[in-house]
Amino acid sequence: MGKHIHAHSEDGVGVIQLNRPQVLNALNRDMVHEIVTQLESFDRNESIKVIVLKGSEKAFAAGADIEEMMDATPLTLELLNPFAEWDKISLIKKPILAAVNGFALGGGFELALHCDLIIAAEDAKFGFPEVKLGVLPGAGGTQFLTKAMGVRKALEWLWLGESMTARTAYENGVINRVVAKELVVEETMSLAHKLAKQPPISLRLIKEAVHAAQDLPLQDGKNLERKNFYLAFASEDQKEGMRAFSEKRPASFKGG
C-alpha cells in the first residue's frame, strides 16, 4: 500500500488504483515511482498473471503535477532524469490493462498509453494539453500517439492540445473498447480474468513480438516471432494445449 496508490490482487489479477483524489490523480514523481515499483512487484509475483491499472470515477489521471516542474531548468531535469522511471514500464512482461474513467490527460494519457490494452468510459477524455503550457509531452506521448494514429492526426492533436472523446480515440486505434462508465472496471476485470486463464508464456512471448513489430524491419520482426514460437515449445502449456486439442477437451494451463 503506497502513499499515492492502493494495490490488491484477485484471482490472478493484480490491481493498482491511483489514489490522489484531491488533485484528480495528477502524477507526481513519488506516485510514478510507486506505480512502477508495484508493477515490477506484480511482474515478479508468479501468482499474478495480468495487471490492471485504474483511477477513480472522475479521473484516471488528469496530467502531471505542474507545481513540481515550475522551477525546473534544463540542467536540473537532465540530472534528475525523471523519465527513466517511465522507461521501466516497457520492461514489464505481463499484460497491463488500463481502465479509464473521466480524464486521461498529459502524463495520465501517457500512463494509459504505456499499458497494453485500454478500456474507457463513453465520457472519458484523452489529450495532451502540454502545448498550452509552452512545453510538450515528455514521457513518450508524441511517440505512442504517432504509432497509434499516424503522423498527421497525432500532430493535429498535439499541436492543438485539445481533448479527444473516447469514441474518437477508439476510431483512431488509440484504445480498445468503449463502454458505459458504470461498466469500465467490470469490463476491464472481465477481460483481465479471461487473459489470466491463457497460457502465461504465450502471452509474454506475444507481447514481446507485437511491441517489437512497431520498431523492427519486417524480417527482423519475423525472426523474433520465429524464435519466440520455438521457445513456446519448451513450455508445459504448449504440450497441454496441443494434447487438449487432440483429445477434444478444454486445456488447463498451469503457467509452466
pLDDT at 228: 98
**pLDDT at residue 65, rounded to an integer:** 85
Reported as a single tens digit per residue, the pLDDT across 145-159 is: 999 999 999 999 999
Name the DSSP class of 129: G
Whether the CB-CB separation of 66 and 28 falls below 8 Å is answered with: no
Residue type, 4: H
Helices 236-246, 200-213: crossing angle, 10 deg rounding = 110
Tens of pLDDT along 201-244?
A: 999 999 999 999 999 999 999 999 999 999 999 999 999 999 99
Q: Give the pLDDT confidence score for residue 1 in this predicted structure.
A: 63
pLDDT of residue 219: 98
Residue of 201, 226, 198 whose CA lies nearest to 212: 226
pLDDT at 256 (0 to 100)? 77
Handedness of CA 208, 213, 214, 218 (dihedral sign): positive
Q: Which residues are marked as active site?
A: 64, 107, 110, 130
Q: Which residues of the chain have pLDDT under 50?
A: none
Grid coordinates of 138: 515528455
User: CA-based angle 204:240:201, to the nearest 5?
Assistant: 10
